[in-house]
C-alpha cells in the first residue's frame, strides 16, 4: 500500500499560493491541485483559488447565491485567488466575465471526496463487489450540488484529468484527486448531467501525455467511430420479470429444457438501408420469433461496446456499456424484461480472456502494463493480436468479477457464456516452445486464470442464484462444470465442442461411406456425462469460408435438407442442452456475414420452411417431454437401443426421466428406406411417432409408420418392427402398455 503524499503549504506568508504552484496549475503539471485550488484557510479567514481560462474577472458566491468576494487574477492564463468572507469551508460558485460575456461555474475543488475509507479498504483488498457503484461516472448530489462523480484506477499515473465538451477537452481544468492508497483518482464535477461525452487525460509516469482514454467503467459510450464515454443515469427501467426470475432461482438448470438461439444483434435483421435495429425494434421482432420457434433462451454475441464491427463484439473496449449501435442502455433493459415476460431467457457472450489494444482502451492504461501483463509471453495473444488480462492482479480480477455481477444485477441477464476459456487456462495456448512462461510449479496451466474463473463463478452463483455460466472450453480440462468446492472451475455448463466437430465431420461424408465412420457418432456417448454439456452449432461453424450447416451436408439438395432435418432431431434427442446459431433454423444458404441481414425470404420456400418447422416442433417436444431434457446431464437418462448397425448407419437410443413416458430416438443416415426394421424397445405397447423428419409437412418423402408402432415380446425380448424412412430421425413415445 502506498503512503499518503505529503503536500506543500497551500499559502505563502502573505496568504498567496506559491508562484511555482500557480505556474504548475496553469501548465497542467501539478500533481495535487486540491492542495492549491478550492477553499483554504488563510490566517483567521479563508482564501479561494480557481483556474478559469479566458476569464478576466471572477466573483465568488456561496451555493445559496450570497456574494463572498472578488478574486484577483494572478496569471493571465486564468488563475484567480482572493479572500472570501465565509465562516467555514464550503463549496463556492464563481461568476466569470470577459469582453465577450459572462458565465457561471461551480468550483469542483471546493468539494470534499466522495469515496470513503471503507471503499479504500475493500478496493485495496480486492474484495469490493460493488465497484460499478463507485468507479466510472455517477450522477449524484454532493454537498448541496448536483453533478457527476468520476473515479478511475490509474495507480502509476503522474496526473489524471477528466476532459469533455464541458471543459473544451482541456486537461488542466479538471485534474483529479489521487487516493494514493488505492491508485484511484476521483473528482466531483458539479453542474453537468447525463449525455456528456468524456475521457480521461493521463500523464504517464515518465511525463508523456497518453492518448485520451475511455472510462473502463463507462455505462454508456458514443457510437463508433467516436470512442468517448458518455455520462448516463443508471438504468431506470421498472422491471416486470419477477415470475421469470423466481422460477429460475428455484430451478436446477441441468434438469430444465434449455434450447438457445444464438444471435448477432447487428445482423439478425436490419433496416432497408443496412442500419441496425434498435433494442426496442429487436424486441418487437426477435422475441416473438424466438417464442414462436420454441427457443427457451436468446444468446447474444457480445453486446458490450466495441470499436470494430467485424470483431462481432469479441474485442470489447467498454465492458460495462451496452453498445451504442442499438440505442440507449435502457433499451437493452427493456429488451431483457420483454424477453422475460415472454418466458425467454437472455444470455450474453462475455469476454474476460483478452482485450483489444486500441489507443483509447485498456492497453497501457496509465502508461504501464496495468490491466495486461508487461511480458508479451503472458500478456499478448498471438491469435487475435490482443492483450491478455493479468489475472494475477487483484484489481484486474475485481474489475472482471464486478462486471459479471453488473450484468446480472443491472440488466437481469440469465447467464454468461464465457468466451475462449481454453486460451485462459493454458500458458502455452497457441505458443511455440520458448514463447511462454511456465507457472510456479513448472507447468503449462495458468493457475491465476483458474483462480479467477473460480472466484467469478463463486461470486456470481452466490449473489445471483438462477443465473448460469457456460464455458466455451475446447480441451479436456477436468471438472469445468463441477463446483469449486469439489475442485472444479465452477461453471454451470460447458460447450461440447467434440459433439459439434464429430457430427459435422460425419454428415459431410457421403452416405455410402458413413458406415466406415460410425464411431464418429457413438464415441461422444463415452464422455457425454463427464460435464454438464451444451451441444453447440455455433456462429464459428458458418463463417470464414466454412459455409452453412445446410452446405456442410453431403448429397444433392434434397439429401442436404433431409440430412439437416435428421441431424437436428438427432441432436435434440441427444443428451445435453441445445444451441443453434441464427439462420440455421431455416437452413440459410449463404454464409453468415455480420454486414448483412439473414435471408428471411427463404422462409417462403417449402424446403427452408420445412427445416424451420422441424426445429420448432423439436423445441416443443424437447420442452414438453421430461424424458428429453430432465436427465440431459445424467447417464441414467440414456441407454442405447442400437449402437453397432454401421452397415445401415442406424442409431437408436432411449431417453427417460422419472416423470413422463420414455422416448426412443431412431436415426437412419442413408437415403435407403429400411422396411421391416426391428428396433428393441423396453416395454410392450403402443409407441406413438411424435416426430418424423421425413414427413411431407417438413418437405420429406412422407414415409413413416402411420403414426404408431406396436412393441411386442418376441424371441426373448421386446421389439417393434417398423419402417425407417430415408435420411431421417423419428422419435417414439410410449403411450399405452
- Are the C-beta atoms of residues 341 and 350 closer than 8 Å to each other? no
Give the other-Cβ count within 10 Å of 239's Cβ: 16
- Give the angle 114-115-119 at the CA atoms, nearest 5°: 160
Give the other-Cβ count within 10 Å of 149's Cβ: 21
Alpha helices in 15-141 (DSSP H): 19-27, 117-125
The alpha carbon of residue 216 and the mean position of all alpha carbons in its chain are separated, in whole angstroms, by 15
168 is catalytic: no
419 is catalytic: yes
3-state secondary structure of 161: strand
CA distance 647 to 245: 49
Among the options 32, 215, 349, 419, which is catalytic? 419
User: Could you tell me the three cell numbers for 374?
Assistant: 508487461
Q: How far apart are the first and last CA of the chain?
A: 74
Residues 6+ apart with CB under 8 A from 66: none
User: Which residues is 70 bridged to in the sheet?
Assistant: 59
- Are the C-beta atoms of residues 108 and 188 closer than 8 Å to each other? yes
CA distance 539 to 593: 10
- Are the C-beta atoms of residues 209 and 198 closer than 8 Å to each other? no
Phi, psi (rounded to 5 degrees) for 440: -60, -20
CA distance 283 to 289: 10
CA distance 325 to 195: 16
Element (H, E) at 533: strand 533-537
Q: Read out DSSP for 234-281?
A: PP------HHHHHHHHHS-GGGS--EEEEE-TTTSSB-TTSPBPPHHH
Q: Is the dihedral of CA 468, 469, 475, 477 positive or negative?
A: negative
- Are the C-beta atoms of residues 446 and 467 closer than 8 Å to each other? no
Report in angstroms the alpha-carbon separations of 299 from 184, 264, 452.
35, 9, 23
User: Which residues is 300 bridged to in the sheet?
Assistant: 263, 348
Give the other-Cβ count within 10 Å of 5's Cβ: 10
- Are the C-beta atoms of residues 180 and 5 closer than 8 Å to each other? yes
Among the options 414, 472, 473, 689, which is catalytic? 472
349: nearest Cα among 371, 326, 319 = 319
The set of catalytic residues is: 419, 472
Amino acid at each position: 500500500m502506498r503512503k499518503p503524499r505529503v503536500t506543500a503549504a497551500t499559502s505563502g506568508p502573505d496568504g498567496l499560493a506559491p508562484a511555482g504552484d500557480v505556474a504548475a496549475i496553469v501548465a497542467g503539471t501539478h500533481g495535487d491541485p486540491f492542495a492549491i485550488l478550492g477553499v483554504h484557510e488563510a490566517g483567521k479567514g479563508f482564501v479561494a483559488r480557481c483556474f478559469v481560462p479566458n476569464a478576466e474577472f471572477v466573483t465568488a458566491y456561496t451555493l445559496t447565491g450570497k456574494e463572498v468576494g472578488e478574486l484577483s487574477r494572478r496569471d493571465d492564463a486564468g488563475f484567480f485567488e482572493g479572500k472570501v468572507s465565509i465562516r467555514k469551508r464550503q463549496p463556492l460558485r464563481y461568476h466569470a466575465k470577459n469582453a465577450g460575456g459572462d458565465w457561471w461555474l461551480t468550483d469542483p475543488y471546493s468539494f470534499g471526496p466522495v469515496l470513503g475509507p471503507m471503499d479504500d479498504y475493500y478496493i485495496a483488498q480486492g474484495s469490493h463487489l460493488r465497484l460499478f457503484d463507485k468507479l466510472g461516472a455517477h450522477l449524484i448530489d454532493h454537498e448541496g450540488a448536483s453533478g457527476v462523480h468520476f473515479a478511475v484506477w490509474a495507480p502509476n499515473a503522474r496526473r489524471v484529468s477528466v476532459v469533455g465538451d464541458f471543459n473544451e477537452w482541456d486537461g488542466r481544468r479538471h485534474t483529479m484527486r489521487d487516493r494514493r492508497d488505492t491508485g484511484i483518482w476521483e473528482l466531483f464535477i458539479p453542474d453537468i448531467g447525463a449525455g456528456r461525452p468524456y475521457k480521461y487525460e493521463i500523464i504517464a509516469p515518465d511525463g508523456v501525455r497518453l492518448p485520451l482514454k475511455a472510462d473502463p467503467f463507462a455505462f454508456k459510450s458514443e457510437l463508433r467511430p467516436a470512442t468517448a464515454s458518455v455520462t448516463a443515469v443508471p438504468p431506470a427501467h421498472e422491471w416486470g420479470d419477477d415470475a421469470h426470475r423466481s422460477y429460475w432461482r428455484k430451478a436446477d438448470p441441468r434438469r430444465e429444457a434449455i434450447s438457445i438461439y444464438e444471435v448477432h444483434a447487428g445482423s439478425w435483421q436490419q433496416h432497408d438501408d443496412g442500419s441496425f435495429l434498435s433494442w426496442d425494434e429487436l424486441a418487437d421482432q426477435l422475441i416473438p420469433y424466438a417464442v414462436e420457434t420454441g427457443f427457451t433462451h436468446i444468446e447474444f454475441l457480445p453486446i458490450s461496446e466495441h470499436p470494430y464491427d467485424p470483431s462481432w463484439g469479441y474485442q470489447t473496449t467498454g465492458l460495462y456499456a451496452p453498445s451504442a449501435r442499438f440505442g440507449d442502455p435502457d433499451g437493452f433493459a427493456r429488451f431483457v424484461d420483454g424477453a422475460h415476460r415472454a418466458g425467454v431467457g437472455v444470455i450474453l457472450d462475455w469476454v474476460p480472456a483478452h482485450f483489444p489494444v486500441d489507443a483509447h482502451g485498456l492497453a497501457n492504461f496509465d502508461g504501464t502494463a496495468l490491466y495486461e501483463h508487461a511480458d508479451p509471453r503472458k500478456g499478448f495473444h498471438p491469435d487475435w493480436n490482443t492483450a491478455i488480462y493479468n489475472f494475477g492482479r487483484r484489481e484486474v480480477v475485481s474489475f472482471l468479477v464486478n462486471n459479471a455481477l453488473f450484468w446480472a444485477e443491472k440488466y437481469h441477464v440469465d447467464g454468461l457464456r464465457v468466451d475462449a476459456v481454453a486460451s485462459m487456462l493454458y500458458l502455452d495456448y497457441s505458443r511455440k516452445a520458448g514463447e511462454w512462461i511456465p507457472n510456479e510449479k513448472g507447468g503449462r496451466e495458468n493457475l491465476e486464470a483458474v483462480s479467477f474463473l473460480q472466484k467469478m463463478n463463486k461470486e456470481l452463483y452466490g449473489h445471483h442464484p438462477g443465473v448460469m455460466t457456460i464455458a466455451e472450453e475446447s480441451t479436456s480440462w477436468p471438472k469445468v462444470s463441477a463446483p469449486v468446492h469439489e475442485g472444479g472451475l465452477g461453471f454451470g455448463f460447458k460447450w461440447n465442442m467434440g459433439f459439434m466437430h464429430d457430427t459435422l465431420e460425419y454428415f459431410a461424408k457421403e452416405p455410402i461411406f458413413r458406415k466406415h465412420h460410425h464411431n464418429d457418432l457413438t464415441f461422444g456417448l463415452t464422455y457425454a456425462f463427464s460435464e454438464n454439456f451444451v451441444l453447440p452449432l455455433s456462429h464459428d461453424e458458418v463463417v470464414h469460408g466454412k459455409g452453412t450447416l445446410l452446405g456442410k451436408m453431403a448429397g444433392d439438395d434434397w439429401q442436404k435438407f433431409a440430412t439437416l432435418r435428421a441431424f437436428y432431431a438427432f441432436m435434440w434427442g441427444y443428451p445435453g442442452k441445445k444451441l443453434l446459431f441464427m439462420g440455421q433454423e431455416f437452413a440459410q444458404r449463404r454464409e453468415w456475414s455480420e454486414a448483412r441481414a439473414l435471408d428471411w425470404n427463404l422462409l417462403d420456400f417449402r424446403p427452408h420452411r420445412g427445416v424451420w418447422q422441424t426445429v420448432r416442433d423439436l423445441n416443443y417436444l424437447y420442452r414438453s417431454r421430461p424424458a428429453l431434457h430432465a436427465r440431459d446431464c445424467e447417464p441414467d437418462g440414456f441407454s442405447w437401443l442400437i449402437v453397432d448397425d454401421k452397415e445401415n448407419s442406424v442409431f437408436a437410443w432411449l431417453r427417460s426421466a422419472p416423470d413422463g413416458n420414455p422416448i426412443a430416438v431412431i436415426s437412419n443416415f442413408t437415403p435407403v428406406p429400411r422396411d421391416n426394421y426391428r428396433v428393441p424397445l423396453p416395454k410392450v405397447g403402443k409407441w406413438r411417432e411424435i416426430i418424423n423428419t421425413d414427413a411431407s409437412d417438413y418437405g420429406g418423402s412422407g414415409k413413416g409408420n402411420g403414426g404408431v408402432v406396436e412393441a411386442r415380446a418376441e424371441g426373448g425380448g421386446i421389439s417393434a418392427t417398423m419402417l425407417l424412412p430415408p435420411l431421417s430421425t423419428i422419435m417414439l413415445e410410449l403411450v399405452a402398455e
